[in-house]
Amino acid sequence: MLEWTDRLLGRYTRLLDMLAGLCLALMVVLVFGNVVARYALNSGITISEELSRWLFVWLTFMGSIVALREHGHLGTDMLVSRLPPASKRACLALAQVAMIFVSWLLLSGSWAQMLINWETEAPVTGASVAIFYASGVLMGASGIAILLRDLLRTLFTPLSEQNLVMVQESEELSALVQRNAGDAPAAAKRP
């Protein structure tokens, strides 16, 4: 069952990754176009600032979902890395339960704000402000799904000791470990 959810979540996060790239491209076009219009034409694109802000919020939440799936958020393992495997598993499960709770708070709060602001119009675009809060609903629901899958894996499948610590101390160290892991099979083949 976990393989099926892995494939589904993989496709979902690839889609979010592409949508985040589209949001970034639109933001660049809107902001650059607005700057050019202000200096060259002495006028601006009225919708640019509001739409860019909304795109940035959506981009941030979609990127957070992708990072959550890939265990790409930074953290510290100073204490957990020194624990025995059973304690590491318990700490990981406890952390995942806490993150599910926080994701639930984000989901329920964003859902409430979405309903409250359903008929409120944004000042420039006239679009419903609920669109802004829907990004939190997406993040909360996606976070719960990803974290539930991770929690089930933690509780019911054997994990290596390395997989029981799901944080990265730094981006540089993570890149170095991944690069060395890619070189490991080639080094193993050498006599």
Per-residue pLDDT reduced to its tens digit, 111-154: 999 999 999 999 888 899 999 999 999 999 999 999 999 999 99
- According to DSSP, residue 169 is labeled S
Q: How far are the Cα atoms of 74, 135, 150, 162 from residue 102, in angstroms, in the given order?
A: 17, 15, 15, 25
Q: What is the pLDDT of residue 27?
A: 95
Residue 186 included in any domain:
no
Residue span of the structural domain in which 57 resides: 2-179
Residue 141 included in any domain:
yes
Say if CB 139 and CB 65 are below 8 A apart.
Answer: yes
Residue 47 included in any domain:
yes
Residue 115 included in any domain:
yes
Nearest to 69 by CA among 148, 125, 177: 148
Per the structure, how many domains does the chain have?
Answer: 1
13-47 residue pLDDT tens:
999 999 999 999 999 999 999 999 888 888 888 88
Q: What is the pLDDT of residue 188?
A: 44
Residue 144 included in any domain:
yes
Q: What is the model's pTM?
A: 0.80
Residue 189 included in any domain:
no
Residue 55 included in any domain:
yes
Residue 84 included in any domain:
yes
